[in-house]
Amino acid sequence: MNRDLTIEALLGASFDCGCGKHHSTRFSRMIMKSGAIAELPGLLEELGKKRPHMVCDTHTWAVCGEKTAEILRAASVDLTFSVLESPEVGDLPADELSFGKLCMAFPTDCDLVISVGAGTINDLGRYLSYITGRDFILVLTAPSMDGAVSGVAPLIQNNLKVTLNAHAPVALVADLDIMTKAPMKMLSAGVGDILGKYNCLTDWKLSNIVNGEYFCPTIEGIMRGAIDKTMKAAEKLPERDPQDIRTLTEGLVLSGMAMDFAGNSRPASGAEHHISHYFEMQFLFDGIPAVLHGTKVGIGTVMMLRLYELLAGMEKPDFAALRKSAAERPPFEAWETEMKRAYRGGAPVVIDLEKKNGKNSIEGLLKRLDVIEARWDEIQALAASAPPSARIREVLESLGAPVRPEQVGVCPQYVEDGILYAKELRARYTILQLFWDLDLLKPAKDILMKEFVKDEPR
């Protein structure tokens, strides 16, 4: 397989890969064209579904949900639906309250869940379908994030972003008449999410080098192709040509399929997502309106690619000195106190994760330092292969997308804490953990703060 494969060639794919694993995806049907929602009745008949339950929020109901309901009812489909109230400011959170409302309105005799929306509504619907054992269809309204067809749902639990198993859709319906009218901020968010793969794929390979984590060149190739095509389409997105919207959507869909193939979100999520999730948590604690996922990921991507630039130009560290000073790292108790401050109500989950995985343990650090020293040239070559952060910043700015945390309301203290502690959200090796291993995370934080934040934390 190569990076030029089309989505059509991968629909419902199931194959033994050269990486040694068997890859498959539940996603097997896509209708992406002008007037696509008119084909929903025929799709339901083909799937043998008679009593679908549709999930929207007030925004997506106005954009597409009401029209979808009219089409289905005109075809004598026994449709029920739930419409969540969208907040006046910001975006609907995918949290326990939103999900609980859907559960309370869920008709037990339905045989299919249909989400009409993009990020939050997609994630809520796919998780609802999963826990109720129903199939899932997504009617996509905007190419704003890469979870359209993945088999996981990033939801908010106790103010902490968690990734839960969910149903990938058996079909995706994307009406280009609707998609081309999506707000520019949603299009730029989709681009931000896709360009984040430059960093996460580099993080994935870095973990393969340092930790021996499983890595699949086939999946990487699929994602690289999607990124390359999106970069070309991004320049013309403001013109809203249906073909460019389609290219962006296909890139996001391929990202979801890559997660299905890998069995987790590793091909689509690295340190740039961890930074995004950390910012989102703080918004929730402070009651700040939510910001589009891909928008925050774009900001995190520019910041993390800047770290790879620093790594590429770095002199080889004194590994003997690093081993000698390893025992002087702050003890677990001091780290735990910092987690309680930085993560607040989400701290117990983060602390339990570290107790289970011990990624900051001295034993694990010393083992990784041996590998990092032995493969230093390979690590630096990997860092040099990442695209310049300025190029990604340029693309995002051309679309009117934010590129600094303060542009979306992230205060300096949260930026600092995110750089230092966002790595604690997941037991995954990323560029942030590497800088911690080299005892350079705090100096790197100072550089990023000067370049991306106007005011220092109080």
Q: In this predicted structure, what is the pLDDT of residue 457?
A: 53
Q: Is 380 exposed, middle or buried (0-12, 13-18, 19+ CB in 10 A)?
A: middle
Which residue bears the tokens 């296909």? 250
- Residue 5 is assigned to a structural domain of this protein: no
Phi first, then psi, for residue 173 (nearest 5°) are -115, 120
- Residue 8 is assigned to a structural domain of this protein: no
Task: For residues 56 and 122, give the distance between their C-alpha atoms in angstroms, rounded to a whole number.
Answer: 9
57, β-bridge pairs = 84
What are the pLDDT tens digits along the chain (458 aa)?
445 567 888 888 899 999 999 999 878 899 999 999 999 999 999 999 999 999 999 999 999 999 999 999 999 999 999 999 998 877 788 899 999 999 999 999 999 999 999 889 999 999 999 999 999 999 999 999 888 888 888 888 887 778 888 998 999 999 999 999 999 999 999 999 999 999 999 999 999 999 999 999 999 999 999 999 999 999 899 999 999 999 999 999 999 889 889 988 899 999 999 999 999 999 989 988 888 999 999 999 999 999 999 999 999 999 999 999 999 999 999 999 999 999 998 899 999 999 999 999 999 999 999 999 999 999 999 999 999 999 999 999 999 999 999 999 999 999 999 999 999 999 999 999 999 999 999 999 999 999 999 765 54
- Residue 13 is assigned to a structural domain of this protein: no
Q: In this predicted structure, what is the pLDDT of residue 455?
A: 65
Which residue bears the tokens 């990938």? 168
Specify whether 79 is located in the same domain as 193.
no
- Closest Cα to residue 409, out of 269, 293, 280, 302? 280
Q: What's the domain range around 193? A: 188-452
Q: In this predicted structure, what is the pLDDT of residue 290?
A: 81
Residues, the chain, total? Answer: 458
CATH number reported for the structural domain that contains residue 296 in this entry: 1.20.1090.10
CATH number reported for the structural domain that contains residue 174 in this entry: 3.40.50.1970
- Residue 175 is assigned to a structural domain of this protein: yes
CB atoms within 10 A of CB 454: 9
Sign of the torsion formed by the C-alpha atoms of 99, 105, 108 and 114: negative
Phi first, then psi, for residue 130 (nearest 5°) are -65, -50
Token pair recorded at residue 74: 């005109």
- Residue 363 is assigned to a structural domain of this protein: yes
Q: In this predicted structure, what is the pLDDT of residue 433?
A: 98
Task: For residues 71 and 405, give the distance between their C-alpha atoms in angstroms, rounded to a whole number.
Answer: 42
Task: For residues 418 and 279, give the distance between their C-alpha atoms in angstroms, rounded to a whole number.
Answer: 7
Q: In this predicted structure, what is the pLDDT of residue 456?
A: 56
Examine the fold and report which residue of 131, 160, 182 is the final residue of a domain before the chain moves on.
182
Q: Which amino acid is at 442?
A: K
Task: For residues 117 and 182, give the distance between their C-alpha atoms in angstroms, rounded to a whole number.
Answer: 11
The number of CA neighbours under 13 Å toward the Cβ of 448 is 34
- Residue 1 is assigned to a structural domain of this protein: no
With beta carbons less than 8 A apart as the criterion, state whether 109 and 49 touch: no
* Strand 160-165 versus strand 135-140 pairing type: unpaired
Specify whether 357 is located in the same domain as 447.
yes
Number of domains, the chain: 2
pTM of the model: 0.91
The DSSP element (H or E) to which 189 belongs, if any, is helix 184-211
